[in-house]
Amino acid sequence: MKSAGIIYKYKHKKAEEEAYRLKDWFEKKGIKAFVKEMSKDEEYKEEPVFPKDLNWLIVLGGDGTLLGAARKIGRFGIPILGVNLGGLGFLTEISYEELYEAVSLMIEEKLEIQERTMLDVKVIKEDSEIGPFAVLNDAVINKKTLARIIDIDVFINNEFLTTFRADGLIISTPTGSTAYNLSAGGPIVYPTVDAFIITPICPFTLSNRPLIIPDTSVIEARLSKKDDESVILTLDGQVGISFHYGDRVVICKSPHVIKLIKPPKHSYFHILRTKLKWSGKT
């Protein structure tokens, strides 16, 4: 029997109602369906919320809900259909009104599945190692509170790159290029390009510019100074890990990929035009 998982946004009444309505719809078609509210826990938890052999995963919410779902179960290779109940997102590309049309096409295997690269992130401390974590959008190093700039030494494939003096540093996938990276002045990168983006946040030196590197690279970041305290590493804007002088953040391409089911009507460029409010053709 085919099966589907449905994850809906935390404490969102409309999403909850639609999740159980969709569950009934699936089961009338002979498809086993599981429903789960997205937890608000900030800690990264490894346990799966559904069986790992689902045929599909439907996420009802926004891009943040999909990021959490990707870490919890999407990394097992289950195709994800993202539905934004408020409009369109960069990851949740299907609107509420298009839900059942899209799900019907999904069941008939008439929708394209696109693979998205993830980051593999771990923190190496003096006597322990935290991770690895599979991250879809970005890993960000910055201050917990407003304070002076921090100095971050960055190495690429064991070769010293530079010391970024900035409010922080973003290491992003192409999928995450339209998230915090974009707000910090980084480039938009097409989501299937084999690359990572390194973007300083408000750099002290104007010559410290965003850098695009191959996704075969291994990136390592360290704090330059002992007095750079109260620093945190944030994964996908949802998981926080304290980061101290002497710790090392090591980032490479994850062995896991996220499979996103593409909407029937919208291209990536349509999403860009809509979300960024770019002018239409005159």
For the stretch 56-74, pLDDT in tens is 999 999 888 898 888 878 7
pLDDT of amino acid 129 = 92
pTM over 0.85: yes
Q: Is the dihedral of CA 18, 20, 25, 31 positive or negative?
A: positive
Q: How many CA atoms lie within 13 A of 22 on its CB side?
A: 31
Q: What is the pLDDT of residues 89-117, one digit of tens each?
A: 788 888 888 899 999 999 999 999 999 99
> Active-site residues: which are they?
63
Tens-of-pLDDT digits for all 282 residues of the chain? Answer: 899 999 999 888 999 999 999 999 999 999 999 999 987 654 445 555 677 889 999 999 988 889 888 887 877 889 999 998 876 678 888 888 889 999 999 999 999 999 999 999 999 998 889 989 999 999 999 987 666 789 999 999 999 999 999 999 999 999 999 999 999 999 999 999 999 999 999 998 888 899 999 999 999 999 988 765 689 999 998 888 989 889 999 999 999 999 999 887 778 888 888 888 887 665
d(CA 53, CA 38): 19
The values of phi and psi at residue 42, to 5°, are -85, -20
Condensed to tens digits (0 to 9), the pLDDT of residues 163-194 reads 999 999 999 999 999 999 999 999 999 999 99
Q: Which of 202, 71, 81, 92 is nearest to 138 (CA)?
A: 71
Classify residue 188 as exposed, middle or buried by CB count within 10 Å of its CB (0-12, 13-18, 19+): middle
Query: Domains in the chain, please, with CATH?
Result: 3-112+262-276 (3.40.50.10330), 118-255 (2.60.200.30)
pLDDT at 44: 44
Give dist(CA 120, CA 114) in Å, integer. 19
The angle formed by the CA atoms of residues 217, 182 and 230, to the nearest 5 degrees, is 75
